Chain A
Amino acid sequence: MNTHAFAALAHIPILVLPVGPIPRTVFEKYAAEIRTFDSIRLGDIPTGMKDERARFMPNPLSSGYLYLSYPSHPAPPRHMSLSLFRPSHFTLGIIGVAACSSSYSLTSALEQFDKTVLDISPEGSTFPLAKVCFAFEDEESAGSTGLGDTLPGIVSIPSVMGNKKLYIGTLLADLCSHILAELGRVYHVLESPIGNEYLNSALFPTLPSPSEMPLSLSSGNLGYPSYSSQPELDSSGLTTPGIQIKRSSTAGPGISHTASLIQRQSTLGSPAVRKRVSAVGAVSSHGRLYKVLGDFFLLAGRTEDASLWYAEAIVLFKTGQDPVWHASVLEGMATVFVLDAWSAGQGLQSSVSNNSIKEPWADIYEQLSQAIALYHKASVPSDLSQDHSLLALTYCTAVMRQTSLLFCTWSTKGWGALAFASMLQPGSTSYTQRTTSDSSWTNLERISIVSGVSRSQIANTVSQAHGPWLLHLGPHERLTILQSMASIYSSLGYRRKEAFILREVISCIMDLIVCGRGENDLLRKSDVGSASTDNRSENGDEVSIVGKGAVGVRQNEILEGNQSILKLLVRACKVLGVDLEAVGVAKTTDGTSSEVGGRDNGGSAVEDLERPVDAAKESFGWPELQVGVIREAIAVAEALPDPLAVARISLSALRTMHSVLASSDQYHLYQTAGRALAAMRRRGDAPAVEYWAGHPIMSIALLPLALHRMPIENPFSILTAKSSATNSLLSGITDPFLYNPRKTSGSQSKNLIVQGEPIELTITLRNPYVFDLEIQSISLSTTGVEFESSPVSALVIPPNTLYPITIIGTAKTQGTLVFRGCIVQAHWGAPREFLLPVSTDVDQNLFARRQSAVKCESGRTKYWGLDSRPWEKDERRLSTPLPSLKKPPQFLQCIVVPEQPLLRIRWTSLTHGAVMLYNGEESTIRLTLENISALPIDFLRLSFEDSTIGPAQEALSEGGLSVFETYETEYDLLHRKAFSWRNEKEITNILPNQKVVLSVTCVGKVGCAHGTVHIAYSQVNREHEEQVPTPEVFYTRQLSYPVTVTVYHMLECHDLRLMPMVDVNYDDIGSRACNSVIHLLPEVDDPTEWCLFAIDVRNTYGLPFEVTFEREQAGTQNAAVSSTVPPGSMSCIMLPVKKFRLADDQISQPIPTLSDRQFVVGKSKLSIEEEQAQRELFWYREELLKIVSARWKETNGDRNGYLSLRQQRLTLPMLKALRTDMVQVDLTLIVDTPDSSPQELDYSGGKYIASPNEMLYLRVEVANSSLSPLAMTLDLIFDPAEQVLWEGVLSNMAMGKLKPDETKTVEVPLCFLCTGRFEIGAEVRIMGAMKNSRAGASRICISVREDG
C-alpha cells in the first residue's frame, strides 16, 4: 500500500541512504528519526532564492504543507522516461546518513556519499534534485571528528546536541527548499520554446542532458556550489565527453532529434504521428507544460496554483490529442481535491458532514475513472516495450489510486479526516489495519454500511488493474501491484481472490528468483541497494518481506526468504482448502524415547479419538483447484529449493487429499517426497517430517498362547474346597442364575501371559494409497512392566490393503503390561506413536453417537464458505454438543504372571489317541507326564470332558425335559462318566524332569465320540517369594489330551415286560425262553407273589455276546440268567422277580434332582393323580433296577461290561404286576363231597376242572396286607354270567373294615349250567375311594367238562 498511496503525486520522495561503515541498527535509528517528518509546513521552508528558482517557493505565511515520503529505493533506471511526466515517481532528494567517528572522517563520508549517489542515479537523470549527507557523531568520539569543519554537502550532527529532532526538521526544510528551487530551475528550462519542444517530443519525454540543451545553461547557474546538488549532471557531462561530443559533432541536437523522431514515426500510433509531425518545428501546445507546472505546484504544496494550472492544461487537452497526459492531469486534480479537503478538515476531528445527496468522493472517483479510461484507450507505439511498460505502470497506478480512494474511505468508515490522513500518509496511520483486522462478515458489512462504499465496488475497481498488461511491467512493479491487490482483497475479506492473486505473486517472485540465479552477477550489479536499502519496514505485510527475502536468498543462504514464500503458499492454499502443513516437522530428532516422552498423553489420545470422526468428515474444496495448487506449490518449493518443504507439501497432499488424487498423482507425490527427503539426507540435514500416512494401525491383537502354555487363574479357595465337581458337571455352568447380568461384564477376560515366555502380537496395518508404502520400523509402545521386543523394520505394505505383521516379545517381570499402541516410523520420517485404545461397548456407543452427531452436522450449512474448511470447522461449536469422552481410553492390557512350570505328555498307552470300546466296556488309559521346566509341580488335578456332556448339559439347561427325563440325564452325567480318575497313588508332586504315570478309566458310552483329559498343574507353594499380601489367586496351566473314542453299540434291550406269574403259561416259557430260566421256575412257590421279568436283547453287532441278568433281591436267593445272543438275533431273557411293595411315604416323594439347579415352575400340567402315578412308576423302576442288573461278555473273548437297562420304561400294567396288591384276594372253588367235608376242586394247568350242574362254593378270602385298616367292598364277575347260577348279590358286597393282616372270607354258592370255559373274577375296592381304583383282584379260570 505504501507505494500506492493516493496522494503520492503530492509527495516529495526522499531516499535515505547509509553512508560508510554504519551499523544497521544505528542507521535504522537515525533513519526512523528522519522518517518521522512526513510533512513540513510551508512556513518553515527557507525562501531566499531569487530568479526562476523562486517560482515554487511558498508564499510567506502560507499555511500549506509539503508532504514527504521515504521510499526504500529509487525508481529503476528504465522509468527514466517518466521523469517529466511524473516527477513524484522519482527520489527528488537524497539524504545520506553517516556515522562519523575518529576513524571515519567527514571528508571520506562525503566522498563515499557522492559515490553512492552517482551509483544509484541513472545516467543523464534530472534527479535527484538535491542531496545532503547527515553525519551523526558517535557518542564515544564526540568532539574528535572535527565538528567545526564545514564541508559543503555534509552536515554533521554532534552527539551532544540536545534537540536533534528539531535540527533535523530544519535541515529537511532546507533540503526541501533546495528541491523546490531545483524544480523552478527545471521548469525554467522547459518553459523555453526548445524545452517545450522536448516536452512534446514523445509520449514520455525526457529532458536531455544539459550539454545537449541548445540553450546554454551555465554551469554556475546549474550547480549549487555550496551543496552541489547537481553533481551527476556535471559529472555525466564530464565522464562521457566522448559520446557527447560525438553526438553533437555528427548531427547536432536538432538533427539527432529529428532522426530519432523519424525512427519512431514508423512505430507510433496515428494520433501520435500526427502530433509528432505537427510538433516538429511548430510551436507545440502548452498543455504539457501547464501540466508539469501543475505537478510542480502540487509537489510544492501550493494547491491553488496547481489546480489553476491543471485547469489550464485540461482546456488544452480537451482536443483529445494527448490522452495520457490528459489522464495524468485528471489524476493530479483528484489529488488536489483531496489535499484541499485535508487542509480544510485538518484540525477538526469530526468528519466532514456528508449530508449531501451525492457522495463527496464521487467527483474524484469520476475523475479517476475518466483518467483510467483514457490510459486504457491510449495507444502506444507497439514495438516500444519501454513505453508499453510505462503506460501499463501509469494505468495500474491510476487504478490503484482509485482503489486507494475507495479503500481508504471504506476502511476509515467514511469520508472524513481519517480517510484523508490515510490517503495522504498511509504509513502514518495504523487505523486501517486495525479496522480491517477483524475480518468477520459482520464487521466488514458494518464498515460497508457506515462508509457507504460497498466492498464489491472496491473489488471491481481493483480488478481493473489485473490484466494481460501486467506482463509489460517490470518484475518489481508487477510484484508491488499484485501485492497491493492481494492485500486489498485480503482486507475486503475476499479470501479466494486473495489466494488467486497470491498465486501470481508467488510466480512473480519465483520468476525473480530464477532470473536472479541465471544472471547472478548481472543482477547484483543492477539491483541497486539490495544490500543497503532493504528496509521497507513500515508495512508489516508479509508480501513485502517476501519480496525482500527472495532477493536476498540467492546471495546468502538466509532461510527467512524461503520461509516467507512458503508461508505465502500455505496461506494461498488454505483458502482452497489444502493444508500444506498437515504433516508437521519432527521437533526432536534424538530418538524415539524423547518423542514418546515429550508427547502428551492427551494430545495423541485426542487425535486417536478423532479418528472415527475423521472418517465421517466431508471433504472440502475443489479438487481440480487443489490438485493444481499442490502442483504449483511443489514446483515452487522445488525451485527454491527447499526439500523439506517439498516433502511436507507432497506428504500433506497425500495425507489429506488421497481420496481425490489420481493414482498417477499419488505415485508422483510419493516419489517427489522420497526424492526430497533423500536429498535432505544427502546433505546431512537431520530434521525429518512427522509420520504422515494417516493412522496406519488398524488393530493390535495378542495372539493367544498355545493352550498348554496358557495360564489359568484360579482362586485359592479351590485348594481347600474339594468336591464341587459334581455340580459343575451337572449344570455345566456354575452360575445358579439363568440370567446373570454381571456375567457379561465380567466375561472380558484378562489376558494372561507368563513372565519370561515369548508372546506374539499381531498388528494390522493399513495402506490406503495406491503405491507401496514403505515403513522403516514399527515397534510396540508399552507401559507397565518391562517388555522386550524387537522392532520390525523395513516393511513394505502393498497398496490398498490391510497388512498384518507379527511382533514377538517377552515380559521381563510380573505385573501388569499395557500395550498403548505402536511407534511407527516412515521412511526418513520421525517416529510417531499411535495409540490404539480398546473400546468397550460404552465407548463404541459414544463413538457412534459422536460420529452420527458429526454426520448430522455435515449436511447442514451452518458454517459455509471458508468457515467450513476442515480445520476451522473443528474449532466451532456444533449445533448439538458432542458427547464428551469421559473416561481415559483403555488399552490392551495383559497380566504377567510369575513363571510357571511346564508339563508334557511323554507317552500314552493309546495309539493315535484313539480308544475303541463296546458300549459299557471299561478301559484304562495310561498317561506318562514329564515336567520339563525347572520348577517343581505341587498341584495336579484332572478333569474330563467328553462329547456326551455337552448335549446333556444343554438339554438340562434348556429345561424342557420332564422331571423323569431330567433325572435320567443327571444320573447319566453323574454316575456314568465316560472318564474318571481315581488318584490312588495320591500323585501331587512332580519334581523337575520327573515322570509320573496317571491311569484314567474310560467307560464306553454310546454317543461318546471324543473326550479330553485336562491336567491342570501348578506350583502353588513358592517359598522363595514371600509376598506379604497373600495372593488370592494362583495360576495353573492345563495340559489337554484329546482322546478319540469309538463306542460300538452292540446290544440293545427292548421291550421290558413284567407279567404276573399267575398269567404265565409255563409251557410257553419252556418253548420260548432259550435260556436257563426254566430251572429258576421252581423257585416260584406262589405265583401270586412273583412276577416274571422279561426283556428282549438284540445283538446288532457282528459277534456273539453272552448276556447275564442277575437278581439280587432281599428275601430271595440271588439268581442269574444268562444267554448267548448270536449276531443279528434277539433273545428274550426272563427272570422271575418277587413282587414287592414300597412304603407310601417313599412313593409320595417327588422325583429327586441330583443337582441343586434353580427350578423354574414346571411346565408340565399334570394333575395330582397323574403326578402321583408318575412318582410311583419312578420309584418302583428305581427299585427294580437295583434288583436286576445286566452284564455282557464276549463269547470268544474276555471283554465284558455292563448292559444298561435304564432306557427301559415301566408302564402301569407292569407296575401292577410288580407291585404286591394292597388287598390280597384269594379265590377258591369248593365242592361239597358226599362225605360232606368240603374240599377244593381239582386244579390243574392253572385252572379248575368242574362238572356242569354241580353245586359249588366260591370262597373269596380277602386279606388286608397293607399297614392300615381298610373298609372295602367286593365285586364278583362271572363270565359268561348267563350260564352260571349263583345266590345272593355279586356286586358291592360289603366286607366291613379289615384290620391289617385280618382276613375275611365270603362264600358264594354257584352252579355252572353248561360245559365250557368260565372265568370268575373278584375285585376289592376301598370304600370311598375312586371307582376304578381296585385295591386287589384275583381271577380264576374254570374248565367245565362233562367228565369232570
Chain B
Amino acid sequence: MAPLLRLNAVAFISPHNHPILIRTFEKGDELKYHYVAHTSLDVIEERTNGQTKSNDCYLGLLYAMDDIAAYGYITPLKMKIVLALPLTDSVVRDAEVIMTFRALHLAYYHASSNPFIRLHDTPAGVGSAKWKRFRRKVDEISRAVGGGSVPS
C-alpha cells in the first residue's frame, strides 16, 4: 500500500478566478493557502493559454514553493481546483492525484446541482451556509485520501 496522500488545502476557483471554496486542513495558516491558490492561477493561465491545448483536465504539478506543492485541475467549464500537498520526499503518483481531483470535481458537481445555490454570487458564495454539504464532502474526501486533520 502506497503512502497516502496528505492534503494541506483544496481550493475551488470559479471560471472568473473568484474563490469558491478554500478548505485548509492545516490549522492556523489559512491565508497562506489562499496565496498558494491565488499564485497558482499564474501557472494555470499559462498552461491553459498555451498553444498546445490539451483536453486533459489534469494540469499536473503547477509549482513548488517552500514546502508546498500545488497541483492543478481545470474542468471543462474552466472551474479550477488547486490542491496543495506537502512537499515530501515520497513519490506522489499522478494517478492518485487525478483520482483525488476527480472526486473533488464530482463533489463540486453535486453541490452545484443544488438549484438553490447561487454559484456566481461572490464573495458571499465562499463558505456560506449553502455550501455546508459541499464543505463536508470535501472534508470527507480529504479524510479518505489520507487524512489531514479536518478543521472543525
Q: Which residues of A contact B (CB under 8 A)?
A: 441, 444-445, 448-449, 454-456, 459-460, 463, 466-468, 489, 493-497, 500, 576, 618-625, 628, 659-660, 859, 861, 864-865, 868
Contacts and interface: CB of A to CB of B under 8 A. Distances in A.
Contacts of B1: none
A448 B18 CA distance: 28
A460 B61 CA distance: 10
Contact of A449 (B31, B51, B126): B51
B63 A459 contact: yes
B15 interface: yes
A628 B31 contact: yes
Given A445-B51, A460-B64, 7 more contacts: A449-B51, A455-B46, A456-B43, A494-B43, A618-B122, A622-B18, A865-B41
Interface residues of B, number: 31
Given A441-B49, A459-B43, A466-B65, A864 B15 contact: yes
A494 B42 contact: yes
Interface string B11-43: 000011111001000000011001100110111
A643 to B, nearest CB: 27
Interface string B101-141: 00000000000000000001011001000000000000000
Contact of B50 (A445, A489, A628): A445
Contacts, number: 89
A619 to B, nearest CB: 6
Nearest to A627: B31
Contacts of A496: 38-39, 41-42
Nearest to B47: A456
A495 B66 contact: no
B54 to A, nearest CB: 14
A445 B51 CA distance: 8
17 contacts: A441-B45, A441-B49, A445-B49, A454-B46, A459-B42, A460-B64, A466-B66, A489-B42, A495-B42, A497-B39, A500-B35, A500-B39, A618-B16, A623-B19, A624-B126, A625-B35, A628-B34
Given A459-B43, A868-B16, A622 B38 contact: yes
A1017 B42 CA distance: 77
Contacts of B16: 618, 620, 861, 864, 868
A448 B38 CA distance: 23
A456 B65 contact: no
Contact of B66 (A448, A468, A576, A618): A468
A495 B17 CA distance: 14
Contacts of A624: 19, 22, 30-31, 34, 126
A621 B38 CA distance: 9
Contacts of B51: 445, 449
A770 B53 CA distance: 48
Interface string B61-74: 01111100000000
Contact of B123 (A467, A576, A619): A619
Nearest to B41: A496
A1279 B46 CA distance: 119
B126 A865 contact: no
B32 to A, nearest CB: 10
Contacts of B49: 441, 445
Contacts of B126: 623-624
B63 A622 contact: no
Given A466-B65, A864-B17, A865-B17, A623 B39 contact: no
B15 A497 contact: no
Given A497-B42, A864-B16, A622 B34 contact: yes
A865 B45 contact: yes
Contacts of B43: 456, 459, 494
Contacts of B31: 624-625, 628
A660 B50 contact: no
B138 to A, nearest CB: 17
A841 to B, nearest CB: 31
B38 to A, nearest CB: 5
Contacts of B41: 496, 865
Given A624-B31, A625-B34, A864-B15, A463 B63 contact: yes
Contact of A460 (B19, B22, B63): B63
A494 B47 CA distance: 12
A500 B68 CA distance: 15
B42 A859 contact: no
B13 to A, nearest CB: 9
Contact of A619 (B46, B64, B66, B122): B122
Contacts of B38: 496, 500, 576, 622, 625
Contacts of A623: 19, 123, 126
Contacts of A868: 16-17
Given A496-B39, A497-B39, A628-B31, A463 B65 contact: yes
A285 B35 CA distance: 48
Contacts of B17: 864-865, 868
B123 A660 contact: yes
Contacts of B22: 624
A448 B19 CA distance: 29
Contacts of A620: 16, 18
Nearest to B49: A441
Contacts of A449: 51
A494 B46 CA distance: 9
Contacts of A456: 43, 46-47, 62-63
A861 B42 contact: no
Contacts of A445: 49-51
Nearest to A501: B39
Nearest to A503: B35
A868 B13 CA distance: 15
A230 B35 CA distance: 52
